[in-house]
Structure 1
Amino acid sequence: MNYPQRINVKEATWEFEPFPVVYFSLSFPELSQTFVFNEIRSIAELGGDIRVLSCKSPSENRSNLPNAYGYEDRIDTIFDGTTRSSRARRLLAAAKAASKLLIRNPALLPNVLLAAWSGDTVVPFSMKLAIAVRLQSHPDSIIHCHFGPAGKVIADLKKHGLVKSPMTTVFHGYDITQYIVEATDAYKTLFSEADLLIPISDFWRRRLTELGAPSDKIRTIRLGVDCNAFEYKRRVAVPGETTRFITIGRMTEKKGHRYTIEAFKALAERRPDLNICLDVIGDGPDLQEIRAITTGWQSNAKITLHGALAHQDVRAMLDQSHIFVLPSVVAANGDMEGIPVSIMEAMAMGLPVISTRHSGIPELVEDDLSGILVDERDVDALSAAMERLGSEPELQLAMGKAGRAVIEREYNERTQARVLMSALSKISSKE
């Protein structure tokens, strides 16, 4: 796959007056969070002078996109994960970071002590001080966080005067469901210190308001996909060709993979005349459970578990497919989706979608227009939706075309990046 080179700053014509942005992440670059890097790339193309500060680098399922696009020299990782951190090592790191902060400004000593004794346990104290040291090297930057826990770390540093920069936080799903099941006031400091709170759906906007976030700080800004990178084409199997169902997502309960497989098996048994198959892409803690569901099943209809795949391989498989399925559910631990980027990518390529009335998904997929929505965990309804789309080629084409139009109009990466860049530039101009 050919990737474009990093922007030539000397030749670029920016749509916005350039200003510095530090993306702060607890772990970067995650394979399952390609939307973060895609946003970084889009903001850079519009004029953002981007740096990434990450607490650690993922030990597995690491995305290759930063290297492929030439952004690797813009990533500062505090802990590389290759060495184990002992208590003595952490204390030494904390002492070194504290000394750097105090050499720059001795008056910060009370603030450092307060930060040490604060109850925030998202990251250890030594790393918290290391983050402060790094960010004080970029005093004019906006700090942009993806996911509430990352924003919480920065908000705590701001509260104790160790970071002065304006900050924003994007909320996706687990961070305002599973993460706060037992602590609904977890974001009290973040709500106070953040300059902008960004839910990716109106569903989550309402949730933030319920949690006590100031309404004047909340703005829904949706994620998007690169419409030029995901080629649209008419998705219908020609006579004699297998109709390919595909599902993509981490092997976790909220993705509903078990229901996809159970519904597909029911369809194959009910309609042996249909020439169908199912491709399942993803890795995660529930992989063995999902594998057990498919083991020993005898049918002409094939189910293939591919595990985690590189970005270009996922796109290639989408290009060979006809119908996208993702029946998301509320997990037992409260975890929920935001608006899955995998659905956006499938719609951009012209695949009709089968999903559930869950979280912000109905904001993306309009039932009976760009896809079919069913209730969570309703295997019978899910199987019936698969049968309907799998046996009606004209419906596949109509829903695929409608889905592409929705993406171009409301979930275009470039358009959404302009919305975000405009919001960030307004914050920057206030400083």
Structure 2
Amino acid sequence: MEVAFLVGEFPNLSETFILSQITGLIDRGHDVHIYGRKPADVPTHHEEVDRYNLLDQVEYIPSLPDSKGRRLQKALQLTGEIDSPEHAWRAVRALRFWRYGHIAANLQLWYAVCALGGVERTHDVIHAHFGPNGVLAAALRDLGVLDGAVVTTFHGADMSRYFRRRGTAQYDFLARTGDVFLPISRRWKERLIQVGFPETRTSTHHMGVDCDGIEFSSVAVQGTTIRLLSVARLTEKKGIEYGIRALAQIIGDPLTGSGGDLDVNVEYTIVGDGELRAQLEQLVTELNLESNVHFTGWKSRSEVLQLLGKAHLFLAPSVTAESGDQEGIPVAIMEAMARGLPVVSTEHSGIPELVDDGTSGFLVPERDAEALARVLQSLIETPGRLPEMGRAGRQIVENEFNTEKLNDRLVCRYRAALSRTRRSMSS
């Protein structure tokens, strides 16, 4: 099949789930093209991007300036890309905000049509990741810019935060015209159906990890150091602040010797970057944890796997942000469980669908540093429990979050979507 992915930033270091789908389809003999909303904002990317020559397959849609004045100016400049009366007519119809909603009102659809709309681009499937990109894909098909079955994966923020900001009506056009909707958890499937998406076309499709590419290793605590690890974009919903505060509670103040009664040293490594990094580093300083907490910035997938192999526990203290932003099911947790690490996380979004509380890890309420501290201290003091929990986690990932199995299932969903599109065209 000819499959086009419509995504946001590409290649994005934190969106390994999209990369795994793209490479999995290529491995299965399918042709892949990528439409990106903007290039990556970091200078590095995962090795697979080069191995599969993915940058040669990317076509970028012009991005929107923040300023409304500059946005309008750029829209006028893009009229120079219009090269035929048919192209001009598509661009004019792209302004129908009453049909397409926010992507027409903010000129994103105009930008896309001007850049891509000279000829119809035919694919079997157009797979959009995140709801707003699904709306864009459906609108571009409606305007004759793209052709193919529209499949949309919903992740979490595109429902939680997006609904609060834009309302559920922004997805009405997509719900009517899209072919298949794939929320990544049962929780978000229920939410989509609640707001009007057809149940017959809405199915849970988990993101996953390559279990064959992640060597399982039973956790073995040797010596007097316990290593905690988090891998996350440093934003509010990742809850890293609460992981740091929990650590402060279990080890006390290293400078004064007050509090904490552990007989081991605890090191906490935080992989990732984001707008809260400076704030989190300041918190570490205030709590006198500089010798215990280490920020590494972004790492490649192979580097992350190496760090997972050295860690004893994975910490993912996710929370609902003030904006309403929520997780889907973090792939970083899947990778940790596949590697054999017990997970300490929160009762947040779809995480309970992955982490079996008391079996493969522990879940505590959001924003509860004291509960995190109690669980961490209990596991640190009884390290003999860790190997069994790690084995249970690996089994869960192999059974339900294995990207090989999920990609086979995805191809079946594509074929069903394509069949539906052809029946619709012939009727």
TM-score relative to the length of structure 2: 0.88
Structural mapping, 1:94-243, within 5 Å: 94-97=79-82, 99-100=83-84, 102=85, 106=86, 110-118=89-97, 119-121=101-103, 124-130=108-114, 132-133=116-117, 136-137=120-121, 139-182=122-165, 183-238=167-222, 240-243=223-226
Q: Which moved more, 1:357-366 or 1:228-237?
A: 228-237
The total of aligned residue pairs comes to 404
Structure 2 letter corresponding to 1:115: A
- 1:265–1:161 Cα change, 3 Å: same
Cα offset for 1:132?
Answer: 4.3
CA–CA distance in structure 2, aligned partners of residues 42 and 58 of structure 1: 21
Per-residue deviation, residues 300-330 of structure 1 (Å, max 9, x unmatched): 9611111222222222111110100001111
Q: Does the 8 Å CA contact 1:268/1:301 hold for their aligned counterparts? A: no
Name the counterpart of 1:9: none
Q: Does the 8 Å CA contact 1:224/1:341 hold for their aligned counterparts? A: yes
Name the counterpart of 2:277: 287
Q: Does the 8 Å CA contact 1:123/1:153 hold for their aligned counterparts? A: no
Q: Does 1:72 align with 2:55?
A: yes
CA–CA distance in structure 1, aligned partners of residues 383 and 74 of structure 2: 62
Cα offset for 1:28?
Answer: 1.0
Cα offset for 1:167?
Answer: 0.5
Name the counterpart of 1:51: 33
Q: Does 1:90 align with 2:75?
A: yes
Per-residue deviation, residues 10-61 of structure 1 (Å, max 9, x unmatched): xxxxxxxxx1000011321111112111111112212321111113212326
Per-residue deviation, residues 227-274 of structure 1 (Å, max 9, x unmatched): 121111111211x24110111101111111000000011011222422
Q: Does the 8 Å CA contact 1:120/1:153 hold for their aligned counterparts? A: no
CA–CA distance in structure 2, aligned partners of residues 135 and 193 of structure 1: 22
Per-residue deviation, residues 160-193 of structure 1 (Å, max 9, x unmatched): 4444422110000100011120312111111111
Q: Does 1:278 align with 2:278?
A: no
Name the counterpart of 1:38: 20
Q: Give the 3-state SS of the residue equivalent to 2:212 in structure 1.
A: coil
Q: Does the 8 Å CA contact 1:132/1:157 hold for their aligned counterparts? A: no
Q: Does the 8 Å CA contact 2:95/2:107 hold for their aligned counterparts? A: no
Cα offset for 1:340?
Answer: 0.2
Q: Does the 8 Å CA contact 2:224/2:264 hold for their aligned counterparts? A: no
- 1:131–1:187 Cα change, 3 Å: farther
CA–CA distance in structure 1, aligned partners of residues 343 and 39 of structure 2: 33
Q: Does the 8 Å CA contact 1:196/1:218 hold for their aligned counterparts? A: yes
Structure 2 letter corresponding to 1:21: V
1:363 aligned to which of 353, 358, 379: 353
Structural mapping, 1:234-253, within 5 Å: 234-238=218-222, 240-253=223-236
Structure 2 letter corresponding to 1:49: D
1:305 aligned to which of 295, 299, 311: 295
Structure 1 letter corresponding to 2:350: G
Q: Does the 8 Å CA contact 2:233/2:272 hold for their aligned counterparts? A: yes
Name the counterpart of 1:426: 416
- 1:377–1:81 Cα change, 3 Å: closer
CA–CA distance in structure 2, aligned partners of residues 133 and 32 of structure 1: 30
Cα offset for 1:114?
Answer: 2.3
Q: Does the 8 Å CA contact 1:276/1:301 hold for their aligned counterparts? A: no
Q: Does the 8 Å CA contact 1:268/1:299 hold for their aligned counterparts? A: no
- 1:395–1:352 Cα change, 3 Å: same
Structure 1 letter corresponding to 2:94: A
Structure 2 letter corresponding to 1:208: L
Name the counterpart of 1:378: 368
Q: Give the 3-state SS of the residue equivalent to 2:33 in structure 1.
A: strand
CA–CA distance in structure 2, aligned partners of residues 301 and 89 of structure 1: 49
Cα offset for 1:90?
Answer: 3.4
CA–CA distance in structure 2, aligned partners of residues 193 and 116 of structure 1: 18
Cα offset for 1:353?
Answer: 0.3
Per-residue deviation, residues 73-125 of structure 1 (Å, max 9, x unmatched): 2222244999x97755532323423x34x3xxx4x765532212424336534
Name the counterpart of 1:402: 392
What's the C-alpha RMSD, in Å, of the aligned pairs?
2.3
CA–CA distance in structure 2, aligned partners of residues 255 and 88 of structure 1: 37
- 1:23–1:402 Cα change, 3 Å: same
CA–CA distance in structure 1, aligned partners of residues 337 and 118 of structure 2: 40
Name the counterpart of 1:6: none
- 5+ residue gaps in structure 1? 1-18
1:259 aligned to which of 217, 220, 242: 242
Percent identity, aligned pairs only, is 32
CA–CA distance in structure 2, aligned partners of residues 131 and 417 of structure 1: 31
- 1:372–1:160 Cα change, 3 Å: same
Q: Does the 8 Å CA contact 1:251/1:283 hold for their aligned counterparts? A: yes
Q: Does the 8 Å CA contact 2:317/2:346 hold for their aligned counterparts? A: yes
Q: Does the 8 Å CA contact 1:57/1:79 hold for their aligned counterparts? A: no
CA–CA distance in structure 1, aligned partners of residues 304 and 53 of structure 2: 21
TM-score relative to the length of structure 1: 0.88
